[in-house]
Amino acid sequence: MPDWLAKAILRLAAIAVLTTGLSLPLAPLHAQTGAPIKIGLSTQLTGPLAGNGKQILLTAQIWTEEINAKGGLLGRPVELVYYDDQSLPANIPGIYAKLIDIDKSTPSLASRPISPLRPCRSSCNTAS
């Protein structure tokens, strides 16, 4: 993959991570109350794409810290839940199913293309 393409993908992923939470209204600057808003992320922390995945995770962690320092989202703290997909697309559906079903998080699709999630679409599409 050309270097310029990898940098462009990384920039787009970072913007997507940041805008995932920013699309929710920010609460006024006051004490955080209530259960945390969980944002789930599957990223490549090991394997051949680990460099990109670690940058994505760091970006999400910085965003989480900044939002929590400003009072959170809707007056609630933000909690980042993430898992290593080992740079293997086959691991992604299971990770997102776990993020939704077990961790009860709002998954972020920022670090991965959507096509590996198709097998999980029917089981993850439940009304709550």
CATH number at residue 54: 3.40.50.2300
Of 1, 70, 68, 59, the closest CA to residue 29 belongs to 70
**Buried b vs exposed e over 78-108: b needs ≥16 C-beta within 10 Å?**
bbbbbbbbbbeeebbbebbbbbbeebebebb
Q: What is the domain extent for residue 78?
A: 3-124
pLDDT in tens, 87-126: 998 998 899 899 889 988 877 755 555 444 445 544 555 5
Predicted TM-score (pTM) above 0.85: no
Sequence-ordered list of residues with C-beta below 8 angstroms from that of 38, at least 6 positions apart, any chain:
78, 79, 80, 81, 103, 104, 105, 106
Measured distance CA(36)–CA(10) in Å, rounded: 27
> How many separate domains does the chain show?
1
Mean predicted confidence (pLDDT) in 29-43: 79
